[in-house]
A = this chain, B = another copy of it.
Amino acid sequence: MRLGEMAERLGCRLEGDGERDVLGVGALEDAGPTDVTFVTDARHLPRLHASRAGAVILPDSLPADRPVLRTGNPYLTLARALAMFHPSEACPAGIHPTAVVSSDACVDPTAWVGPLCVVAPRAAIGARTVLDAQVFVGAEVWIGCDCRVFPQVTLRERTRLGDRVIVHSGAVIGADGFGYARDGARCVKIPQVGRVVLEDDVEIGANAAIDRATLGATRIGRGTKIDNLVQISHNVQVGEDTVIAGQSGIAGSSQVGSRVTFAAQVGVVDHVRIGDNVVVGGQAGVTKEIPPGSIVLGSPAVPHLEFKRQLAATARLPQLRKALRTLEERLRALEARLER
């Protein structure tokens, strides 16, 4: 592809020689003269100067030293450029002969059920959906169209996936929620008879665990992205276009709004509500309702300005103690003087 054509398809403004050939997209250190690279931040400009890349995707604010694809949103341009050079593999269709598919299951003829998958009775698998190898699809699971389920995923009975859902390897969708009643000292299991619903365009990371509801549904809203090793507990409701980074956990029945951002290793207690557009910092522990639009940090989580104030004050504690001792001495001197 020529650079000019690439600029046009990506909706970028071209600066420099549009006749140049482009064969791929590469990181700064790996890209060669036929590759496009990208820089999103001024601190990487020295690495750009050292790069052999033939062209670069740049935001409007950064100076260029070679042909440029100008964009207001370099990550989005990068996503599109990568998709251009790395189209999804052609989707195979059919059922691998080693898969164990119930005669009661309904698999669209354009879908693919890979080797050593298990598809239980009354499951339904939509058009062009790909189940990689060794996937488990429980009874009455419904999977929409154009989904990708990577190897060794478990979808427990009655889970629902919308369209274009991606589930990464090792994720377990629909395991029993962690619910017990005490009978004296003993724990009696509360049957978890609800389900999990993953709406359209949801993506779930490797080895994540999304538990089924006790009654009703645990729900992950449209377009929400969940990273590896995240736990979503029973009856949790997550809104749309929310992003939850790795190893975070949300306890039972909590509600998370739309367009919320969780950094990694966040914990949220049960039965709280987190408003829309909230940002929760890494390792924060949310213990109560968070109003929409807040930024919170710390464990227990507090508004970020308060957190920073507390952090600064804690760091100055030794000085504070010293100042107190100085005051005490001055006071003692005054007292002594007045005694005289």
A residues within 8 Å of B by Cβ? Answer: 25-27, 29-30, 73, 75-80, 82-83, 86, 96, 98, 100, 114-116, 118, 132-134, 136, 138, 150-152, 154, 156, 166, 168-170, 172, 175-176, 178, 180-183, 185-191, 193, 201, 203, 205-209, 211, 214-216, 223, 225, 227-229, 231, 233, 240-241, 243, 245-247, 249, 251, 258-259, 263-265, 267, 269, 282-283, 285, 287, 299-300, 302, 306, 309-311, 313-318, 320-321, 323-324, 327-328, 330-331, 334-335, 337-338
A136 and B136: CB pair below 8 A? no
Q: Which 8 A-B pairs have the closest CB atoms?
A: A75-B181, A313-B317, A175-B206, A76-B181, A172-B206, A154-B169, A82-B191, A209-B228
From A183, A216, A227, name the one whose CB has the most chain B CB atoms within 10 angstroms.
Answer: A227
Told that A206-B209, A211-B228 touch, could you supply 10 new A-B pairs with CB distance under 8 A?
A: A75-B180, A86-B191, A98-B100, A154-B206, A170-B207, A187-B225, A207-B209, A209-B229, A264-B267, A313-B314
Nearest chain B CB to A193's CB is how many angstroms away?
5
Alpha-carbon distance between A152 and B151 when the two chains are bound, in angstroms: 10
In the complex, how many angstroms separate the beta carbon of A179 from the nearest chain B beta carbon? 8
> Quick one: which of B100, B185, B206, B240 contacts A241, CB cutoff 8 A?
B185
Residue A76 contacts which of B75, B182, B259 (CB distance < 8 angstroms)? B182
Max count, chain B CB within 10 A of own CB: residue among A86, A150, A209: A209
Say which residue of B225, B265, B269, B324 sits within 8 Å of A267 (CB atoms). B265
The complex is assembled from copies of this chain, and their number is: 3
Q: Are A178 and B227 in contact (CB under 8 A)?
A: yes
Collect the chain B residues with CB atoms within 8 Å of residue A169's CB.
136, 154, 156, 172, 175
Is there an interface contact between A216 and B154, defined as CB atoms closer than 8 Å?
no
* Residue from B96, B251, B264, B337 within 8 A of A246 (CB atoms): B251
- Check A118 against B115 for contact (C-beta < 8 Å): yes
Assuming A249-B247, A267-B283, A283-B285, is B241 touching A186 (CB within 8 A)? Answer: yes
B228 touches A178 (CB 8 A): yes
A185 to B243: give the CA distance in the assembly, Å.
11
Q: What chain B residues lie within 8 Å of A26 (beta carbons)?
A: 215-216
Which of B98, B118, B166 meets A133, CB within 8 Å?
Answer: B118
